Amino acid sequence: MSDRVKELERLIRYHQDRYYNDQPEISDAEFDALWDELRQRAPGSPVFDSVGADSSDRFAKRAHLMPMNSQDKAADAEAFLKWAARVEHPLYVAQYKMDGASIELQYQDGSFCYGVTRGDGRIGDDITVNVTRMQGVPPQIAADFSGGIRGEVMMSRSVHRRHYRDKANCRNAANGVMKRKDGVGAELLQVICYDAVHQHDDLYFEDELGKLQWLAEQGLHVVEYRRCASVNDVIAFREEVAQQRDTLDFDIDGLVVKGVEIDPDDMRRTRPQKQIAFKFALEEQTTVVREVFWSESGHLYTPIALTDPVRLAGTTVKRANLANPRLIREMDLRIGSTVRITKRGEIIPKIEALLENPPDAQQIVVPATCATCGSALVDEGTRLYCPNMQCPKREIHRLKKWIEVLDIKDFGPVLIQKLFEAGRVQRIADLYTLREQDIVELERMGQGIARRALRNLFAVETVPLARFVAGFNIEGIGELIVDKAVSSGYDTLEALRDADPAQLAADSDGIGEPTAATLIEGVRLLFDQMQQVLQTGKISIGRSLESRALVGQSFCFTGALKSMKRSEAEELVRKHGATARGSVTENLSWLVTNDPDANSSKLQKARTLGVNIISEEQFLQMLQQSAQS
């Protein structure tokens, strides 16, 4: 065995482990290049009979019912055609290749029993307690089914943008959330399924198409797919999907192509021969870092690189995300660095690799003090932030968060900024002392704007405790987390303030002690401000919700409802812990309509953003299920 083959095997095993444990160091394209080189040099290498492992010591282990095998890859049409000529399928099924974290759902006599991660392909982590909270995992399916259902745990791009911007991408975020011991955030994840095997009956499914239809009939979320009559149809479908991928709400990185006929023996191979991952061509460019500025969002500072303009994914790119100070140091990035950038669904492209640092390249300066209040910034490597809880930047961010969480319409960030700069509003309580004249006197703010803004502000007279606390923007604490504490008996501000972190964590399902400590400390620091808001008499903390099953979700309505007025539907939404919204945004959970084929602006926008569209009947079923939970 040559030294190069040994080195390739070592590198592949190392980077497989990094990938499956959420710490990738090289791009997919770079890994595939190592793989292809080893395939050419040593096609019989034992590396091709193994998969990486994603196991941790935090969970019990459980064996798979269906091996979690890896697939061969085709990076271009030529490689795909070579594979197709070898297997000679008469018909093909081409599925989206979801870019998430693999999971096996184990059912016994139709009842969900376990959720198991990929692990080493044979044994994985038992994360059942978290999987039960995820979307798309029905507790009961057909009673005659016992076996494994394979899927990907996915985080949507809209959830990633709203809750997990600090994670590099949706896959990393999903992998981290699904393995949290406290389960926080698992309800924001979806399991999208694409394969199944009956434990005792290889003939349970007629063919691959019938299998996918059966999965959908059981209430599971199923991958998008197409039946293709020829290899040319598959190639055309890949090109079509590649053009659409940036508009999807989930990350995909190609197609999985297999024959329509089921081959049980092939499914059990370490590397199945009769299916292949037909990946998209990775769009990447080489450019030069010319400047770095630090984007401020509340108390956080995020480095953004300004680069020489290049064409990438159909647009001209002039900036790239540097993520955090640790990435800058580990990659030795500098002003003048030549870098390779890619775009994989992120809004801002990502720097994948440093190619060269010229002799005159300058160090990137990490700011040491807050530009707003002058406090010394805290550099934790993965984030840089201002610790001053009274920093004006943090206060204005808190004001904007309050308006967003309470969904107060016509009170946008521009108005908040103007009121803050004019000294009219410095804290949330100040909002409730505003008069129309305070707004009218601002530049380009007329009486109509003032009247609508204040009418909508004062229309929200009561809010649940969880939403009230979430509106104060305690770092890392959203409405879902607070509601877990509230439902465990910590149902007043005083109870939250005076709680013991260890006891709250023990009492609450899904809250770990560090999260509990953050929540309690945040309420203590902001308790006086919270009391000042309540003392205005304009808003109060409402009674307990009828149900908490829909907390964290949001609904919007378009068109006429059959069973009630829209205002009545919105009130029902609020009673069940969800938010009623008047417009469609990327963060909307559900759009309700009785005419899904209409061309209203809300429907068009929902389709573009990938928002879930449901009927009034489905909406009422959700409320019924919420009331029973």
Closest to 329 in 3D by CA, of 302, 377, 363? 363
171 by DSSP, 3-state: which? helix
| CB-based contacts of 428-437 (< 8 A; 24+ apart in sequence) | 428/398, 428/399, 428/402, 428/471, 428/472, 428/529, 428/532, 428/533, 429/529, 429/532, 429/533, 429/535, 429/536, 431/399, 431/402, 431/457, 432/457, 432/458, 432/533, 432/536, 432/538, 432/539, 433/536
User: Residues 6 or more apart from 335 whose CB is under 8 A from it?
Assistant: 289, 290, 291, 292, 361, 362, 363, 364
CB neighbourhood size of 118 (10 A): 24
Residue type, 277: A
Q: Which one of 73, 97, 258, 575 is the catalytic residue? A: 97
Contact 349/305 with Cβ under 8 angstroms? no
For strands 462-463 and 540-541, give the pairing: parallel
Residue 97 designated active-site = yes
Quick check: 404 and 472 in contact, CB under 8 A? no
| Euclidean distance between CA atoms 171 and 156, whole angstroms | 9
Count H helices, E strands: the chain? 23, 27
Q: What angle do CA 201, 204, 208 make, to 5 degrees?
A: 125
- DSSP reduced 3-state for 404: helix
Positions marked catalytic: 97
